[in-house]
Structure 1
Amino acid sequence: MSTPSPRGEPPLRTVALPFVFVLFIVACARDAEGPARPVVVIEQGEARASVTVELATTPQQRAQGLMFRRALGENDGMLFIFPAESRGGFWMRNTYIPLDIAYIGADLTIVDIRRGTPLDETILTPSTPYRYVLEVNAGWFEANGLGVGARVILPEDLPGGS
């Protein structure tokens, strides 16, 4: 039990305890955020923009994508990484957010961009094979002055798709 000092002030540990508790909560909250998310940069002419991405590298992650989400940050997205060039399309089943779907070739150039309408099951197939797909909010590419032919810069330490 703590007793006040002879001058009537609370003991130091009584004053410090709430401060230590707040530091503990902040540290736990940081750990709950998980690891830092990668940033993808897209350039075309004078235009340059970046997107903070979640990664979809496994078949299960790629199948789930952004399904069931109700919101996506203004400069957030999902980067799908495939183990080899692909030709299949994407659809918007169970996806509530209107999306721009950018198909990116193995040479890191955007080969096609398709607009995904929420809950539409139309398969959006690109015109050429791709190795990566970047999903962002609908209109993001246009708002940033980017389009087909833009160059994509990926972080060096990205995992390969499985």
Structure 2
Amino acid sequence: MNKILQAIALTLMLLPAFSLSGCYARTGETATSNQQSETTLSEAGLRLVPLSIQTSDAVHDFVVEVAETSAQQARGLMFRTEIPSDKGMIFPFPEDRVASFWMKNTVIPLDIIFIRRDGTIESVAANTTPYSLDSVRSNEPVATVLEIAAGRAAELGIGPGDTVTWR
């Protein structure tokens, strides 16, 4: 199974990424070729970026993988057996939409955080059920979804109205 995962990761790295200009560069800036050459990649071949969540009383820092292409977004965190407490995966969308996720082939429970275009959290689906085919949806159109380890949102006091920023 490990060789299969490595082959899938290699395939995902070779897929051309579509442009998401402005979706993950919150300030509207785009990366220069110098910045792109210094990009750090995860073991799965996804770009790693710092992400912060501002709650009413603290800032919580994460390093997240960016699922930029439709193939990367379809795979998400499937088949992963763990996710460190300071890690996650972000799914930026080119246009706002009602986001719908399921947990098919997702081994670990997750907190799924739905984020508006202005960076505010719309809602949190806490402790999702591994392998479930039930749809986990945002309540309104969102620009981005963040997945973190189950229970972290409650542990850190992360909820609707808090602000997410990333590069």
Normalised-by-shorter TM-score class:
0.7 to 0.9
Question: Could you say if the C-alpha distance between residues 93 and 107 of structure 1 is closer, same or farther in structure 2, counting changes exceeding 3 Å?
Answer: same
In the TM superposition, what are the counterparts of 1:1-162 in structure 2 within 5 Å?
A: 37-115=48-126, 116-155=128-167
Q: Which runs of 5+ in 2 are unaligned?
A: 1-39
SS of the equivalent of 1:37 reads strand
Q: Distance in 1 between matches of 2:42 and 2:87?
A: 19
Q: Distance in 2 between matches of 1:106 and 1:65?
A: 20
TM-score, normalised to structure 1, is: 0.72
SS of the equivalent of 1:38 reads strand
Maintained 8 Å contact 2:41/2:48:
no
Question: Could you say if the C-alpha distance between residues 145 and 35 of structure 1 is closer, same or farther in structure 2, counting changes exceeding 3 Å?
Answer: same
Q: Distance in 1 between matches of 2:98 and 2:91?
A: 13
Name which of structure 1's ranges 140-149 and 56-65 shifts more when overlaid on structure 2. Answer: 140-149
Greater CA radius of gyration, 1 or 2? 1
User: Letter of the aligned partner of 1:61 in structure 2?
Assistant: Q
Maintained 8 Å contact 2:47/2:66:
no
TM-score, normalised to structure 2, is: 0.70
Maintained 8 Å contact 1:48/1:144:
no
Question: Could you say if the C-alpha distance between residues 89 and 69 of structure 1 is closer, same or farther in structure 2, counting changes exceeding 3 Å?
Answer: same
Question: Could you say if the C-alpha distance between residues 123 and 31 of structure 1 is closer, same or farther in structure 2, counting changes exceeding 3 Å?
Answer: closer
Maintained 8 Å contact 1:47/1:145:
no
CA RMSD between the two structures: 2.1
Q: Distance in 2 between matches of 1:106 and 1:121?
A: 27
User: Letter of the aligned partner of 1:47 in structure 2?
Assistant: A
Q: Which runs of 5+ in 1 are unaligned?
A: 1-29, 156-162
The alignment of Structure 1 onto Structure 2 pairs a total of residues equal to: 126
How far is the alpha carbon of 1:50 from its aligned partner?
1.1
